[in-house]
């Protein structure tokens, strides 16, 4: 069933109405409102639901109500903050368009640079999702499928349809998405492929900085597999596959086995990081190399790959040429 669109009509009290599309069907009412009424405080939206200011097909509805295609949602004229959300610089919006590495009718992927947050918040006005929404106003729906640490570069996937987001989240829950990373690890990883099954827990330091650590009793199960690709002086290039997607998982697991990620300022080897900075490494060497999964809406396997940033390629070229600046 294809829902008939409602024109953006308003009554005398500035109430507007939204017809639920096929893509929006199945979404909770509260989540739907948080998306279509961006900028309105969450507490105000829930108050409007409780008071019956928001209605579905003319009747009151609970926040947990799952919307159906074709239903009409009454949207009250809730006041938004006076200040508009900051717009990202034109150069940043243009740059993110140049980072698109895959797009079809359901999904879009970029090669996220190190230093860019996946989304805004915690002092970040806008991240990759906000940039892409502003750069692609033609997309009526765009949401993150997963996240990457701000310091990690590589494959970042967006859903252009709600059905695609649901499908990809189901694949992630079922461990049906193969995620491969490239990481430069401190020292020699001479044991061959190594599987790390170590539960992780997130703690907060007194300063408020988020830290993750191994905790077999209270942590969540976390699994990473490290496979050496190339040995260099003082470091090993490794391919990493993860079966779970915990915060800072690869970084903490690498440090846990005594081979922290080079350039990692939080869990890494500070002295070694200084040595690699002299070789031109100004970031953490962790890159989301590829994502492989069954394509939503089709049976074939899709593999999306993101090339290494030039800074990382140049460092590897320098190490392969034997120019290690005294590292051993």
Domain assignment present for 6? no
Assigned domain for 279 exists: yes
Residue pLDDT, tens place only, 205-259: 756 677 899 999 999 999 999 999 999 989 999 999 999 989 999 999 999 999 9
Question: Does position 82 have pLDDT exceeding 50, yes or no?
Answer: no
Asked whether the beta carbons of 272 and 281 are under 8 A apart, the reply is no
Dihedral of CA 248/249/254/255: which sign?
A: positive
Question: Which is nearest to 76 in space by CA: 26, 136, 132, 13?
Answer: 13
Last residue of a domain, one of 131, 163, 195: 163
Q: Against a cut of 0.95, is the pTM above it?
A: no
Q: Is residue 4 part of a domain?
A: no
**pLDDT tens digits, residue range 8-58?**
444 545 788 899 888 788 889 988 888 888 778 888 899 999 999 999 999
Q: What is the per-residue pLDDT for 5?
A: 45
List 187's β-bridge partners, or say none.
Answer: none
Tell me how many domains the chain contains.
3
DSSP 3-state percent helix, strand, coil across the chain (nearest 5) = 25, 30, 50
Other C-beta atoms closer than 10 Å to the C-beta of 133 total: 18
Q: Can you give the residue range of the structural domain that contains 104?
A: 90-163
Q: Categorize the per-residue pLDDT at 160 as very low, low, confident or very high, splitting at 50, 70 and 90.
A: very high
Helices (H), the chain: 29-36, 42-51, 90-97, 128-135, 162-173, 249-256, 270-278, 310-320
Evaluate whether residue 209 is within a structural domain: yes
164-211, pLDDT tens digit by residue?
A: 999 999 999 999 999 999 999 999 988 889 999 999 998 867 566 778
Integer CA distances (angstroms), 319 to 172, 223, 233, 315, 325, in order: 36, 29, 8, 6, 9
- Hey, which bits of the chain come out as E strands? 16-19, 55-56, 72-75, 100-103, 107-112, 143-144, 153-159, 178-186, 194-197, 200-204, 210-214, 223-232, 235-242, 286-294, 301-305
For the domain that residue 59 is a member of, what is the CATH number? Answer: 3.10.290.10
The reply to whether 326 falls in a domain is: no
**Among 142, 163, 184, where does a domain finish?**
163
Is 269 one of the annotated active-site residues of the chain? no
Q: Which of 30, 57, 138, 149 is catalytic?
A: 149
Give Cα 272 to chain centroid, integer Å.
29
Residue 83 included in any domain: no
* Integer CA distances (angstroms), 137 to 131, 160, 176, 209, 236, in order: 10, 12, 31, 35, 43
């Amino acid at each position: 069933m294809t829902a008939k669109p409602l024109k953006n009509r308003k009554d005398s009290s500035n109430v507007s109405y939204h017809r639920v599309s096929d893509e929006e069907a199945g979404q909770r009412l509260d989540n739907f409102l948080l998306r279509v009424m961006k900028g309105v405080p969450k507490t105000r939206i829930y108050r409007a639901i409780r008071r019956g200011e928001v209605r579905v097909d003319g009747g009151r509805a609970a926040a947990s109500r799952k919307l159906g295609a074709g239903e009409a949602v009454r949207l009250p004229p809730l006041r938004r903050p006076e200040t508009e959300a900051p717009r990202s610089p034109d150069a940043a919006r243009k740059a993110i368009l140049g980072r698109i590495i895959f797009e079809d009718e359901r999904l879009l992927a970029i090669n996220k640079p190190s230093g860019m947050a996946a989304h805004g918040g915690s002092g970040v006005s806008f991240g990759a999702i906000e940039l892409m929404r502003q750069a692609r106003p033609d997309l009526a729906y765009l949401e993150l499928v997963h996240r990457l640490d701000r310091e990690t570069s590589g494959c970042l996937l967006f859903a252009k349809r709600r059905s695609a987001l649901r499908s990809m989240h189901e694949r992630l829950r079922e461990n049906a998405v193969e995620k491969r990373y490239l990481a430069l690890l401190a020292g020699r990883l001479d044991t061959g492929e190594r599987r790390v099954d170590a539960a992780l827990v997130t703690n907060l330091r007194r300063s408020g900085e988020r830290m993750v650590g191994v905790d077999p009793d209270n942590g969540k199960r976390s699994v990473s597999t490290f496979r050496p690709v190339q040995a260099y002086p003082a470091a090993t290039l490794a391919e990493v596959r993860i079966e779970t997607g915990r915060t800072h998982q690869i970084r903490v697991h690498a440090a846990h086995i005594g081979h922290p990620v080079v350039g990692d300022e939080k869990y890494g080897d500070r002295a070694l990081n200084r040595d690699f900075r002299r070789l031109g490494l100004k970031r953490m060497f962790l890159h989301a190399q590829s994502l492989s999964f069954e394509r939503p809406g089709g049976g074939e396997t899709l593999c999306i790959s993101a090339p290494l940033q030039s800074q990382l390629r140049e460092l590897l070229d320098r190490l392969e040429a034997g120019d290690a600046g005294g590292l051993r």
